[in-house]
Structure 1
Amino acid sequence: MGALGRALKAPFIRFGRAYNETAQKYPFSTGVLTTVVKTSAADLFAQKVMERREEVDWRRHGMFVAFGFGYLGCWQFYLYNDLFVRWCKPLTALVGHVGSAPIKTFIDQCIHHPLLYFPCFYSLKGMVEGRPWADSMADCHEHLWENCKALWMIWVPAQMINFTVVPLHLRIPFVAGVSFAWTVVISCMRGALDKTPPARVEGGSMGPSAVADADAAASSGVARTSTISLQPLLNASTASADSQDSPVAAPPPVGLAQLISDEVCDPASAPLLLR
């Protein structure tokens, strides 16, 4: 049995070693490619498994993949692996990665995401839905606090680990892996298994906010039956030992906090998330 176990594990070990060596040689290309693949897989999973679409919406898929490439891949690689390293270099030299990780996590979760990530994500969401940019920003501001709370539940501990022990060249892949894994877990827990009827208002029609959220999709990252982050798992991806989604949507959108506690919130006011 020991020999069989080693034989079964050997291909995964070889792949892991090859991936690590490639990431060390080409951290940017490996990180961005990993994020693109993750974003593509997450949106396809959302459309086919969670939303149970017969036909893939390739326009939406292409926009999410572009978001995964440009924002979650290129921009976040530069942010985590270059800017964060330079900004925190004196602190890291003084107290090490364990001491500087809380500062990086604070900048990422309390400044980067509220001020940049969420507006960009909601802008993309609005483009997918064909809505005016002003409406997208209104949604972003309306759901910002709920989105941040759901974001922090997963990504504060994840980024603390990422900035503390994950080598720089593997930070983007780490975030992409956490993001996709969480998307699948939430889907199995609730998203693909729950079919909640949409909220109705006057005349039996859905309210504008419910309609918008019902038609959306993410981070990054995910599906229509519940709100999940594709990177910040909405949000990001990075790569070396000193710095460092998909968006989703849902018929009645449900924030990560609500998913975890198994409480369904009002579809018209529920947060839409994320990486």
Structure 2
Amino acid sequence: MPVLRRALSVLKAPFVFVGKAYNDTAQKYPMYTGVVTTVIKTSAADLFAQKIVERREEVDWRRHGMFVLFGFGYLGCWQYYLYNDLFVRWCKPITALVGHRGSAPVKTFIDQCIHHPVLYFPSFYTLKGMVEGKPLSESMSEYREHLWDNCKALWMIWVPAQMVNFTVVPLHLRIPFVAGVSFAWTVVISCMRGALDKKKPAAEEDTAIMMESVVANAGAAPPIVARSSPIALQPLLFNAANASADSPQEAETSSPPGPPRPTPLSASS
């Protein structure tokens, strides 16, 4: 047992050192640390989406640069100001009265029911439209069409995550906490999407919609994955089913054409 404990201590030492150094830096420079962490996370999320999820041979650096700027300006600077300044001031009376546990539900409600639907998703869809070359009107139409689905998927992960964030995570680590959770969730959803692509192609659209909700603090990477609409998928699935189920029909089409068959009369003729 003493040998095992020493081995665990040796293995744990580098992680403890890095964690302590990161925490000390975040305490001294909370905004810079949060912004840099978010930029790195956004860059990693988009590269993960392009190379692993989309399996691109070459990285689209224009798209990557736009998302990194979005990570810097919105996910880093704006959300730091929102979470660490505005939320603190808005909820100061509640926090003074009932503590952080009492004000956490209020902050989570503002973040998830006002901030994301009203500010985040329009900003993201505008950026997404710019990357895809769409006009603003089409981007806003897509935003309105998927808003409810995005919010439902968003709330599944971010309501509990933000409750933890606003309750127990210190101010200087709130943005890094959001970045860590969002990147992990991006990877999980991307892996789930890969499994669904192999087993259930018809579910591609629903999964992509869930991934669009992940971009709330997730670096906005996975939603750019090209996807087919349900209307386009249905004929493909229908033809594939017919081709596999009607094997005699294949032999018939491959044989030389015979004389034309008489068209059967319909019941109404």
So what's the TM-score if we normalise by structure 1? 0.76
Structure 1 residues 267, 225: CA separation in 2 closer, same or farther (over 3 Å shift)?
Answer: farther
**Equivalent residue for 1:2?**
5
**Within 5 Å, which residues of 2 pair with 1:236-251?**
236=217, 245-249=219-223, 250-251=225-226
* Residue segments in structure 1 that go unaligned for 5+ positions in a row: 200-209, 214-223, 238-244, 254-264, 269-275
- Cα deviation for residue 227 of structure 1 reads 4.4
Name the one with the larger helix percent: 2
Which residue is equivalent to 2:134?
Answer: 131
Secondary structure at the counterpart of residue 158 of structure 1: helix
CA distance in structure 1 between the aligned counterparts of 2:194 and 2:227, rounded to whole angstroms: 10
- Kept in 2, the 8 Å contact 1:123–1:137? The answer is yes
Q: Deviations over 1:12-63 (max 9, x none)?
A: 0000000000000000000000000000000000000011000000000000
Preserved contact between residue 178 and residue 233 of structure 1 (Cα < 8 Å): no
Structure 2: distance between partners of 1:66 and 1:20: 25
What corresponds to 2:178 in structure 1?
A: 175
Aligned to 1:252: 227
Corresponding residue number in structure 2 for 1:97:
100
Aligned counterparts of 2:195 and 2:183: Cα–Cα separation in 1? 15
> Taking every aligned residue pair, what percent have the same amino acid on both sides?
72
- Cα distance in 2 between the residues matched to 1:192 and 1:66: 31
Structure 2 equivalent of residue 35 of structure 1 = 38
Pairing partner for 2:49 from 35, 46, 67:
46
Equivalent position of 2:70 in the other structure: 67
Matched-pair contact (CA < 8 Å) for 2:35–2:77: yes
Q: Are residues 251 and 226 of structure 1, via their aligned partners in 2, closer, same or farther at CA, if it must alter by over 3 Å?
A: farther
Q: Which residue among 193, 197, 213 is the counterpart of 1:194?
A: 197
Closer/same/farther in 2, CA of residues 10 and 38 from structure 1, 3 Å limit: same
**Paired residues for 1:99-114 under 5 Å:** 99-114=102-117
Structure 2 residue aligned with 1:234? 215
Indicate conservation of the 8 Å contact 2:125/2:142, yes or no: yes
Structure 1 distance, partners of 2:201, 2:60, is 22
Q: Distance in 1 between matches of 2:231 and 2:86?
A: 38
- TM-score by length of structure 2 reads 0.78
Q: 1:47-83 deviations in whole A, cap 9, x for unaligned?
A: 0001100000000000000000000000000000000
In the TM superposition, what is the alpha-carbon distance from 1:225 to its structure 2 partner? 6.4
Q: How many residues align?
A: 226
Amino acid at match of 1:88: C
Q: 1:267 offset after TM fit, Å?
A: 7.6
2:220 partner amino acid: S
Aligned-partner Cα distance in 2 for 1:124–1:115: 15
**Deviation (angstroms), 1:187:** 2.0
Shift of 1:156: 0.3
SS in structure 1 at match of 2:155:
helix
Larger radius of gyration: 2
Maintained 8 Å contact 1:198/1:267 = no
Q: What are the within-5 Å matches in structure 2 for residues 134-213 of structure 1?
A: 134-191=137-194, 194-195=197-198
Give CA-to-partner distance per residue, 1:235-273, whole Å, 9 cap, x none: 349xxxxxxx324223338xxxxxxxxxxx9488xxxxx
Deviation per residue, 1:138-172 (Å, 9 max, x gap): 00011101100010000000000000000000000
Deviation of the 1:194 alpha carbon: 2.2
Alignment check: 8 A CA contact 2:186 2:214 kept = yes
Where 1:126 maps in the other structure, the secondary structure is helix
Following TM superposition, by how much is the alpha carbon of 1:186 offset from its aligned partner in structure 2, in angstroms?
1.9
Among 78, 83, 86, the alignment partner of 1:83 is: 86
In structure 1, give the amino acid aligned to 2:191.
Answer: C
Q: CA deviation at 1:193?
A: 6.5
Tell me the distance in 1 between the aligned counterparts of 2:123 and 2:32: 23
> Helix, strand or coil: the match of 2:105?
helix
The answer on whether the counterparts of 1:172 and 1:236 sit within 8 Å (CA) in structure 2 is no
Q: 1:87 to 1:125 in 2, by over 3 A?
A: same
